[in-house]
Structures are given as C-alpha cells and as structure tokens.
Amino acid sequence: MSFKLTEAANLINGNLIGDSDIIINNLARIEEAKEGDLTFLYLPSYQKYFASTKASAILVKIGFNKTRKDIAYIEVADPNKAFFNILNNYFSPSFPLEGIDSTAFIHSTAKIGSNVAIGKNVVISKGCKIGNNVKIYHNTVLLNEIEIDDDSLIFQNVSIREKCKIGKRSIIHAGTVIGSDGFGFFTDEKNVYQKIPQIGIVIIEDDVEIGANVTIDRAALGATIIKRGVKIDNLVQIAHNVIVGEDTVISAQTGISGSTKIGNHNILAGQVGIVGHIETSDNVIVMAQSGISKTITKPGQYFGSPAKEFRTSLKLEAHMRNLPDYVERIVQLENKIKDLEEEMNRIKGK
C-alpha cells in the first residue's frame, strides 16, 4: 500500500510541513525507518533517534523543534493515536480465507449467514447460529446451539462450547477456549472431591477482542459475561460467573477468580490476580503483578499484593527497602537508651 503524505495529513487533520508529494510505502518505528517510511515521535525516550532516522516523514507534537530540513513533518496533538489511525486506514490486514472449505463439517441444523468464510477442519455442530460476514479459521470447533453475531473473526484451534453467545464484530485468536467447565467441586462425607455440574453459559458482547490461549469458563448457573468493548490479551484465565465491565483491558497472565465483578473502564496489567466474589469500581487501574484480595470501591491506581492505593503502596515499598537501616538505627537508639539508664542509675547511686 502506497499513498501521498498529504492524504495521510488530511486523514488525521494534521499540519503538513514539507513536501506534500512524498510517497509513503510503509510505516515504521523511528529507529528502524527507511526512505519512503512514515514514522512517529511520541515518547521523549525515543527523541534520541530523531537525528539519525532515515524516515521520509515523521508525525510530531505541535510545536516540536523541527531542526532537520531533509524530512517532512505532520504536526498533530497526539502522534501515537494519529499513527495508529493511519495504520488502520492503509494497512489493515485482509483475512486470507473465502468460502467454505470442503473439509469443514456443518450440521444440517446449523444456520450460516451470508458472506461467511470457514476454513479447513472446522466443526459446526447442531443448532449453531452464525451471523453475516463471520470468518472462522482452521480447526475450530463450535459445539451445540452456539450463537455468533455478524462481522466476527475467529482464528484457528478455537473451541466454543454449547449454548455460548458471541456478539457482533468479535475477534477470537488462536487456541482460545470459551465455555470450558468452571472449577467447581465439593467434598463428600468421605472427603472426596465431587464435581459440581456447570450448566451456565458464556456471553461475549459486541466489539470484544480475545487474545490467544485465553480460557473463559462457563457459569455454574446463569452466565459468565464479557461486556461490550472489552480487550483481553493472551494467556488470561476468567473463571465461572465473572462479569467484566465495558471497555476494560486485561493484560497477559491475569487470573480472575469466580463470581468477581470487574467494573467498566478498568485496566488490569500483566499477571494481576483477583480473588473470587469481590468487585472493582469503574475506572480502576491495577499495576502489574498485583493481587486484589478485597473489593475496590474507589476509582484510582492500585499496586502490590495485597493491592493498595498506588501512593500508599509506594511509601510502603520505600520503607521496606529502608528496613535494614531502620534496624541499625533502632539498635543504636536502644544502646543509647541503655547507656543513659546506666548513667542515671550511677548518679542516683551517689
């Protein structure tokens, strides 16, 4: 894909400074860009590459000091977002699949919408409903009575179990399992674990993207719900009866225990762990490797295990690092007190 720089500037409402007829062939990171590439400068830590970048054009913040004359500039309020808008407009990947492959099995009772693409060895079982413009890649298994809405994209080796519902414009990446049994057991009179039947479903609402090798367990009763606009990274575990609020982002290796409710617009960073049967407020950010052990009622940033408000956690971390010094100072103070007591006793003895 090639385009004129002036077209990109118009797309993002940017102020173009330099040759408007430059042809852009690719987008690239500033330290890797070549002639014909468009790059961007957003974080101050990357400014060191400005002098050496070979890019033909660069997205910069308004007011940036444009010292190089051999490069064109597009000034915007947010170069990061502008770059991604150009990326989405000119370089969105096409799905390499059309029609229904001859190796796919589609049950006679399944209902398939228009413009659906189904790859090799896909299994679509009894009573499944698939909307228009859905694309299902190789080796995917859809069990009984699944509903998948329009414009969804499901990649290879995905398993979606019976009665689960997938919303519009969903993207589900390779290796993900939706509707696996929740982790429910009880001990009988002999102290032997017995399985609790998991008879609920999973509901994935519209505009959700689920990464590779994610597991979302079906509810014991009712539904595990992933609400509109949620984005889930790879290797995330979501247990039975969890509800994840709208526009929440969950990073890799996060685990959410059963019956927990995550608020809207939360950000759960990598390797966050959350116990069961609690809730988080809307607009909560949980830093990486934090453990949430109780309900969070206020918006804000949280860190640590157990997690605390970010500033409080930083203070505690600072004190922890200083503990060896504190111990030494306490010992010195104790010795001084002991010396003073001995001196007072000596004076009294006179």
- Integer-rounded Cα Rg, in Å, for the chain is 28
Question: So what's the pLDDT on residue 322?
Answer: 86
Give the 3-state DSSP-derived string for 66-79, with helices as H, strands as E and coil as C.
CCCCCCEEEEECCH
Distance, in Å, from the CA atom of 32 to the CA atom of 196, rounded to the nearest integer, reads 54
The whole model's pTM is what? 0.84
- Give me the mean pLDDT over the 82-95 stretch: 85
Question: So what's the pLDDT on residue 320?
Answer: 82
CB of 148 closer than 8 Å to CB of 134: yes
- Give me the mean pLDDT over the 98-114 stretch: 91
Q: Is 13 exposed, middle or buried (0-12, 13-18, 19+ CB in 10 A)?
A: exposed
Does residue 349 carry a pLDDT above 80? no
- pLDDT-based confidence at 314, cuts 50/70/90? confident
List, in order of start, the domains of the chain with CATH numbers: 3-91 (3.40.1390.10), 105-311 (2.160.10.10)
- pLDDT-based confidence at 207, cuts 50/70/90? very high
Does residue 226 carry a pLDDT above 90? yes
Q: Is the peptide bond before 299 cis (omega within 30 degrees of 0)?
A: no
- Whether residue 265 lies in the annotated active site: no
- Name the pairing type of β-strands 3-4 and 300-304: unpaired
Question: So what's the pLDDT on residue 241?
Answer: 96
pLDDT per residue as tens digits for the range 255-290: 999 999 999 999 999 999 999 999 999 999 999 999
- pLDDT-based confidence at 350, cuts 50/70/90? low
Question: So what's the pLDDT on residue 91?
Answer: 85
pLDDT per residue as tens digits for the range 31-66: 999 999 999 998 888 999 999 999 999 999 999 999
Question: So what's the pLDDT on residue 33?
Answer: 94
Q: What would the two tokens of residue 260 be?
A: 């927990």
pLDDT per residue as tens digits for the range 115-164: 999 989 999 999 999 999 999 999 999 999 999 999 999 999 999 999 99
Secondary structure class of 259 (helix, strand, coil)? coil
Does residue 79 carry a pLDDT above 70? yes
Picking from 272, 187, 276, the residue whose alpha carbon sits closest to that of residue 224 is 276
Does residue 92 carry a pLDDT above 80? no
CB of 149 closer than 8 Å to CB of 112: no
Question: So what's the pLDDT on residue 339?
Answer: 86
pLDDT per residue as tens digits for the range 180-195: 999 999 898 999 999 9
- pLDDT-based confidence at 95, cuts 50/70/90? low
- Name the pairing type of β-strands 171-172 and 193-195: unpaired
* Catalytic-role residue among 107, 138, 240, 319: 240
Q: Which residues of 173-205 are buried (b: 16+ CB within 10 A; e: fewer)?
A: bbbbbbbbebebeeeeeeeeeeeeebebbbbbb
